Amino acid sequence: MGIAEDLKALQELHDKGTLTDGEYSAAKAAAINKGTPTAPVTKAGRKSRVGLLLIILFGVIAVIWYSQGTKQTTQLIASAVHAPIQLMNEVQNVPAHSWKAVGFTTTYTGSVAINIHVVRGNPMDVFVMNTDQINNLKANANVATYTDFDAQKTEVYDRNARLQQGTYYLVLRDTSLGILSAKASDVSVTIQLNP
């Protein structure tokens, strides 16, 4: 039987009341779908679809790994072989008559090179301290610093000294009042760890 004959037989059964409206609709849809030719899926077609999906999957994984893990992976490898690592390369904004503590971590004991350049604004006081000194800094109490990194009222700063593996703060302090000076300063900071 062809589709036309199937549909005619279903209509007759529906007209006699043998099939309900719901049953007739379902049977009609099944008869039409049965008669619709479908393209056969070959092995080559399946393989090309699977290959395309794998390429897309690897592409997504590569993008995620590159955007999320490259910096950490590079630092991990550099730490293991004690290769030079750039810990920071950014511009900090420091308002007048304030300070900013920027944290950095040395992943191995080595020589730390800190380069600072005031791009726009006032000269800075610069020092490096342990993280346990932050409360003293907030309370304006005496702060224990690494004297090799201390500088006052500088616009260009280039220091290099050894630090143990650990976490530290680089403090940028603007002691100007912002009245006859800039209200804020943009400071370029680069920190590199070398063996």
Higher pLDDT, 24 or 185: 185
The pLDDT, as a whole number, for residue 23 is 81
What pTM was estimated for this model as a whole?
0.59
Per-residue pLDDT reduced to its tens digit, 42-79: 566 667 778 888 888 877 777 766 666 666 656 655 56
HSE value, Cβ hemisphere, 13 Å, CA-based, for 58: 5
How far, CA to CA in Å, does 162 sit from each of 27, 116, 169?
83, 18, 15
Long-range residue pairs from 2-7, CB within 8 A, at least 24 positions apart, any chain? 2/35, 3/31, 3/32, 3/34, 3/35, 6/31, 6/34, 6/35, 7/31, 7/32
Q: Predicted confidence band at 98 (pLDDT cuts at 50, 70, 90)? A: very high
Q: Predicted confidence band at 105 (pLDDT cuts at 50, 70, 90)? A: very high
Q: Predicted confidence band at 18 (pLDDT cuts at 50, 70, 90)? A: confident
Q: Predicted confidence band at 91 (pLDDT cuts at 50, 70, 90)? A: very high
Contacts of 162 by beta carbon, 8 Å cutoff, 6+ apart: 109, 110, 111, 112
pLDDT for residue 128 is more than 80? yes
How far, CA to CA in Å, does 95 sit from each of 78, 91, 147, 156?
35, 13, 24, 18
pLDDT for residue 10 is more than 90? no
The whole-chain average pLDDT of the chain stands at 84
Instruction: Pick the range with the lowest mean pLDDT from 62-71, 104-113, 123-132, 133-142.
Output: 62-71
pLDDT for residue 161 is more than 60? yes
